C-alpha cells in the first residue's frame, strides 16, 4: 500500500526514530511502512492520521 508518510515526515523535519517515538512503534516499523513493505494495523493507521491531523485515506492509498 502506497502512503505519504515519508513526505509528511520530511515536511516536519522529523527523523524516523522521532516519528517512531511519537507513534509508539520502533524505527524499523516506520521504515517498513514508509517503503510500503508493511501495512499498519488499523489502530496504528488512526494514530498516524491523528498525529498529522489528516484522514487515513489522505495518507494511505490502496488503489495504486
Partner 1 sequence: MPYNPKAYNPPEMDRSYLYRYFWAGAVCCALTCANFFLRYDGILPAWIMGGAIGGVLASSINGRADDYFRSLCAVGHKWAMAVLAAYLFAMFIAQSSDLGVSPGQVAFAGASAADMTAKTAILFDGYMLALCLSVAFYAGYIFQWARDHFGASEEE
Among 4, 14, 29, 52, binds partner 1 (CB under 8 A): 29
Binding residues for partner 1, total number by CB under 8 A? 20
Contact status: 5 vs partner 1 (CB under 8 A): no
Out of 8, 20, 59, 60, the residue judged to bind partner 1 by CB under 8 A: 20
Assess 36 for contact with partner 1 (CB under 8 A).
yes
Q: Which long-range contacts (CB under 8 A, 24 or more apart) does 55-62 make?
A: 58/4, 59/3, 59/4, 59/5, 59/8, 60/1, 60/2, 60/3, 61/1, 61/2, 61/3, 62/1
Q: Tell me: does residue 40 bind partner 1 (CB under 8 A).
A: yes
Amino acid at each position: 500500500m502506497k502512503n505519504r508518510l515519508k513526505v509528511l515526515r520530511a515536511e516536519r523535519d522529523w527523523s524516523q526514530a522521532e516519528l517512531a517515538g511519537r507513534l509508539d512503534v520502533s524505527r524499523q516499523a516506520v521504515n517498513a511502512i514508509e517503503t510500503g513493505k508493511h501495512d499498519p494495523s488499523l489502530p496504528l493507521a488512526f494514530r498516524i492520521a491523528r498525529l498529522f491531523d489528516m484522514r487515513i485515506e489522505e495518507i494511505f492509498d490502496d488503489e495504486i
